[in-house]
Amino acid sequence: MNEEDKNRWLIIAFDKDRKVTQVISRDEMSEAIGAKDELVAKGAYKVVIYDHETNAPFFIHFTHTSDPT
């Protein structure tokens, strides 16, 4: 894959056991935020938006629950 072919944003969803449940790639930030919102609505415990340009996490979302387990 060429560098030009990569989408800038990688959205990674995790479950409570830290297992990756879904990976989505988007080119625009608004699309990445929308994908993050969809994953959270579907019950993802943690969602990370990773920036290919800076090679670093851009945004991390944790779902908070009252269940201590």
> Cα 54 to the chain's mean position, in Å?
16
Tell me which residue of 64, 68, 59 sits closest to 45, measured CA to CA: 64
Tell me which residue of 64, 24, 66 sits closest to 48, measured CA to CA: 24
> Cα 9 to the chain's mean position, in Å?
9
How would you classify residue 46: left for phi > 0, otherwise alpha for psi between -120 and 50, otherwise beta?
Answer: beta
Alpha-carbon dihedral sign for residues 6, 27, 33, 38: negative
pLDDT of residue 5: 60
pLDDT of residue 63: 84
pTM (2 d.p.) = 0.79
pLDDT of residue 58: 92
The domain spans of the chain are: 3-62
Residues of the chain with pLDDT under 50: 1
